Structure 1
């Protein structure tokens, strides 16, 4: 814990961690001029404290001074790889495989040319993407086949950029996860964006449904929709849901997930959400509710367009309290919405990071429904 730079709050109790994260969220919102009374604060969403992390990027380093290979997160405020034989926050399958991976790389011909591995876990299986800067020898490939059999991991190889990622072993490998309360299943690729914490993702989705409260007559817009993680749950209740995503590959997988789950009332379109609204290709529907889950930079460019329609409710999910506060201030002060409530989602226990959720409602004739 003292050396690794990933879990800087591990010395605090979970109550103290939650209080710290909630305090940061509320103070940031209040600093933007937003009044947040105690009755507007949702109970924090929290779940497993250990072995929760199902996605990670890990560094690999052949350390001559130690005469061995290190695999792990970087040391705090350093470019060096932490000397870690175990990690209590990584999914247990990945945590158990790390020492074996380090020993494997030590035997490989290209041990000095493997800078990183990325890991991703679904509900049943885990994958490892090996980045290699030179072609792998036949001996290296045989070693990786044996490693896949030994660990049960799906092994992917990455020779260049993300587009070069290819499944190596086994040939029929597939990752997926479920939103169990809704009976929904999502297929994904190991480099796709998914929420790091599977249990918290389910809680977050169910709270989003409770807050946005989609009804059979509602038409909902889901911005930055990814694989359809929120789109498809919304489609189980609303009349129609449109998901917009910047990645064409993610849009295709979202469409496949809608078909897999039999949700014909969910559609997906690809668009750069930071371009001018006039260039956006989604259909001209009269959306009355919007969910958005933008990257850390927020969604300032979209707010005027959202407010110009007949949108009554906006549910904003954020991984950055500063841009959430900025955008919340614009929704309230410029576009006439009211902040109805907010709360943290403890997606990353023991770290300084957390997600937050904020619900905005537009008054009708000066009244909130």
Structure 2
């Protein structure tokens, strides 16, 4: 309890704050400013650069075993650090302590509130920090640095990185019998065929192309369904005494929503344990409702859903478009789930990739 209170800065951060004026202002900053569609479009070039960097590094390891967990972590930290500080993250192949120290050095070097940084410089300029019409928040001006630090550490570096890494790793291989990317390559072949037909072989997939690639979106949705990054979502708490479905719920009761159980409920999904992409056929552009909740729902819905989709979809499509993938041996990939708040594989995914012959001429120009 004390750890949670310390982590949440006495429960005043965006993630842990109770619903009220403080939370609404923090949410508005995250959703309407930094993570709005317009705001995310402004960082599109950063995501493109990091995607190309990932492809170039994978080309150098062609046919050699690659730890995809490390690849995805480096990609996400590159994206986040570039958005926050305007600098690229240096990588993950160093001892843990040195890595943590270097991260702090990067943030310190950018001088969070100078004119050269990106998000870290933009946040203090938002109306919430300087709107004199709202006198009750003037005192918070003195705590500006604390709130900015929490948004960066909890929303961007922590929540925005760990969950996306887990989802992208699961998307490459699923524990199924009929269709999976590494254990059964038919999904990979179908996805490559779709990209080759609709995008061609003379350019790389872009964010705007995902809307025209239904097979890629099916893979994303089925990964979200079978392997939700946060199986229990974030804890909720009842603010008042209430009665739900005949049950008396006292004020202050903690509620954990079992997202995994909903998305694997045989009453809602046919053959729910099967990785079956075609279950989403015809649902493009429609709301699946509360059957699929990868980002939660309502006012506590994850504000980073737009960013997650913009990274997950193009990254998956690029890996499929540029490389052929295979297991290290004839044995099926170990699909055991690890322990923790987020659903990671127990063992990192290690696979071999080989540049597709028809893409070599294009990738040679990167």
What is the TM-score with the length of structure 2 in the denominator?
0.24
Q: Which has the higher contact order (CA 8 A, sep 6+)?
A: 2
Q: Whose strand fraction is larger, Structure 1's or Structure 2's?
A: 1
